[in-house]
Structures are given as C-alpha cells and as structure tokens.
Amino acid sequence: MKYLISVSIFLFIFQGCFSKKKIVIGGFTAPKEQSKVEGMIGSGEVSKDGKYLLLAINPEINFGKFQNAKSLEPLLVAETKSAITETNFISLHPIYDVSKIALNMSIVSFTTTSSETSRKVELGVSFNITKGVSEYYTKVYSVKEKRFSKSAQTLPTLESIFEKVAKKVVKKFIKDISPMKTSQLREVKDFPSEISHLESYLDSGNYEAVVSGMEQFQKRSGEEQDLDFYYNLAIFYEALASQKEDFSLLEKAKINYDKALSLDNSDEVLLETKSKFDKFYNLVKSINRQNSANSQKERELEEDFGVTF
C-alpha cells in the first residue's frame, strides 16, 4: 500500500479562556469527479480481483506557442506520476502507446514576470484523458505563484518557482480524479481520572500506548464505560490505523464509535466525528478494493512486458 499517513500532531485550540484538546489524524478526500472516475474503472478489462484502473501518461507535453515552457515538461510528468499513484487508486501503465486510457497534457497559458524585487509565474495546463480513440475528460487548471523581496539576492529562482506551479497545478487535477491524503481534526474528550495520565502520550503521538492503557483499564474494571471513553478509544484507534498503515484497526474504531452512539445518539461532537469517520472508512474500503484489482493487473503487465512497478 503506497499511502502512508504519518501525521500525528497534538493541538490546543483556544476558544475564549477555555481550551479543547484535539489531535490531527490522516485521512483521504474523495475524487471530486467521482462519476468520471467510475467511468474509467468500468472501461477496464476485469482481472480476477475486479475492475482495475490503469492509466498511461504521455511523456511528451504539447506546448503549442509556449515553447519557452519546455523546462516544465519533466516537472509536470514527474509530479503527475508521483501524485496519481500516491494511494494506488490509479495505477500507471508502463507503455503509453498500448494503454486503453491515456492522459495527455497541454500548456495553454504561461507567463513569467521578473523584476529586481519580484518574480511571478502563471501557468495553465489542460489535462485530457482519452479512452481508446474517444476524448473522455478535458479540463484546464490554472495557477500562479508570486515572490517578493527587497533584495534580488534573496529572490527564489524561476526554476524553483516552476517546481511550485507544477506541483500546484497537478494537485488540482489529481483532486478531481483520485482520492488524496488529507488531515482531519478529532476532538478529545475527558479521560477517566484513573487513566488521566494517558493524556501525556498525546504530545508525542504515542497512540499505541493510549489505546493499550485504555483497553487494560476497561479489562481491569470489568464494567461498561461511558460515552466519552468509547468515543476517545474510537478516535485513537482511528489515529493509530493511519499512523501504522494498518487500516484493519478501523474496524475497532467503528465498534467503539457504535458503542458510544448506543449510549447517546444526540451528542453533537460524537455525531459530527462519526460522520467524518464513516466517509473515511468507506473511502478506505474503496481504495483497498481498487488497489487489489490494480495490483493484480500490474503483475500481469510485469509478465507481459518485463517491467517492474
């Protein structure tokens, strides 16, 4: 699995004179153009693990009249390859010419402006996906990057700005067609006084110690706990799942969310958090299914073309 969620930061959010403890956990955003994605999946042949989503990137970019943008070609291609395979929801075909679904990029606008105190780059790229001989998806994404400094010596180079605009424009495109990593806040409720010391592990993101301590406390007590306990246990299992790349732990998070809801289905924090979790949980299952089908197809291509993914 290529999607690594390594974010584990402890935050304090102050509202008036009160503070609420929150943690940041890794998650995913769903593709904005979900219907288009489903159309691409449906067009693929079926491997034994299901319908794969395989796409090839044209290594040559159409620059039109913007030949001065030639230096952007390796940046755009490399960034697209990296971003599109971040979750392996979409896999890359090793040979562009024989792929049934292909991505082509064209520069539609490109301007650079430099002075002694500023540099600005504006870039527009058309991303075009074809299925066989038919055009399937075309959209233009535009970005700009500005830098100012009192001294020309401290201004970033145009080349470094090119890297930034390439990354920004690709990110806009990938958000439309693939799940992407993101981060979400989870509010932490109060711990039982007997295990309040577990809160000290949050600063370092040691969620494994928190989960272990909570599970041991529940076993020792031999009693059902309150809503706050099960809610906290759920969010820490969720955080641990992302941290360890072990998304089977989401099942334990789900069990504890459901226990908390069975005690009180009107708690606003619980309801809001559970809604976010459900979207994350369902998206992870979708990514895993697609990953399995893609991996099977990759193995077939390795045998056919002698390539390694």
Same domain flag for 86 and 195 = no
Please answer whether residues 232 and 191 qualify as being in contact, where contact means their C-beta atoms are separated by less than 8 angstroms. yes
Instruction: Using the Cα atoms of residue 246, residue 251, residue 252 and residue 254 in order, give the sign of their dihedral.
Output: positive
- What 3-state class would DSSP assign to 7? coil
Q: How many CB atoms lie within 10 A of CB 2?
A: 11
Domain count across the chain: 2
Alpha helices in the chain (DSSP H): 34-43, 72-84, 158-177, 207-221, 227-244, 249-263, 268-305
Give dist(CA 245, CA 266) in Å, integer.
32
Of 235, 218, 224, 225, give the one whose Cα is nearest residue 269: 235
Residue 299 forms part of a structural domain: no
Residue 59 forms part of a structural domain: yes
Residue 84 forms part of a structural domain: yes
Please answer whether residues 24 and 11 qualify as being in contact, where contact means their C-beta atoms are separated by less than 8 angstroms. yes
Same domain flag for 129 and 54 = yes
Residue 47 forms part of a structural domain: yes
Same domain flag for 67 and 114 = yes
| CATH number of the domain that residue 39 is part of | 3.40.50
Same domain flag for 146 and 59 = yes
Same domain flag for 193 and 281 = yes
Same domain flag for 88 and 217 = no
Same domain flag for 55 and 130 = yes
Contacts of 27 (CB under 8 A, 6+ apart): 5, 181, 182, 183, 184, 242, 276, 280
| CATH number of the domain that residue 239 is part of | 1.25.40
Contacts of 102 (CB under 8 A, 6+ apart): 55, 56, 57, 58, 96, 129, 130
Of 58, 19, 22, 33, give the one whose Cα is nearest residue 180: 33
Hey, what amino acid is at 206?
N
Range of the domain at 200: 9-27+188-287
Would you write out the chain's pLDDT as a tens digit for each of its 309 residues?
A: 433 333 343 333 333 334 579 999 999 999 999 999 988 886 555 555 568 899 999 999 999 999 999 999 999 999 999 999 998 899 999 899 988 899 999 999 999 999 989 999 999 999 999 998 889 999 999 999 999 998 888 899 999 999 999 999 999 999 999 999 999 999 999 999 999 999 999 999 999 999 999 999 999 999 999 999 999 999 999 999 999 989 999 999 999 999 999 999 999 999 999 999 999 999 999 999 899 889 888 888 888 887 776
What are the residues facing 104 on neighbouring strands?
A: 128
